[in-house]
Amino acid sequence: MGTSQRNIDGRNEERRGNPRFPFVANGEVSETSAGTRIKVRVTEISTYGCYLDMLNPFAVGTEIFVKIFTAADIFEASAIVVYSHPNLGVGLAFRDVSPHSLSTLQKWLAEAAGTQA
């Protein structure tokens, strides 16, 4: 969605169309087809997706449902895995975000942008 790859001097470099901010929170994902819940750690977030630390990441293209928790708020959305790093984690693109979850996401992004300044 907001990510593309380009090859520079034999290196792949990810380019994003929107800023991604450091953001640490607990989360839970479940694969849409299997329904098994896995606890994860969120480490980055943006308007269109996030990065999850997980030892056994899902394959690119896997459709999942993600919940992200802070002390005060919960975000929920369906998502798709857009890139996967073995033994490290996955990058997700959010899909079908409810208005309530969107307002939570916007709040978190505003807070994260404020800490970057």
- Residue ranges of domains in the chain: 3-116
The pLDDT tens digits for 75-105 are: 999 999 999 999 999 999 999 999 999 999 9
The pLDDT tens digits for 51-63 are: 999 999 999 999 9
Q: What is the pTM of this model?
A: 0.81
79's CB contacts (< 8 A; 6+ apart) are 49, 63, 64, 65, 66, 92, 93, 94, 95
**Yes or no: domain 3-116 corresponds to CATH 2.40.10.220:** yes
Running DSSP on this structure, what letter comes out for residue 80?
E
- Predicted confidence (pLDDT) at residue 14 exceeds the cutoff of 90: no
Distances (CA, A) of 112 to 8, 10, 19, 27, 31: 30, 33, 11, 17, 28
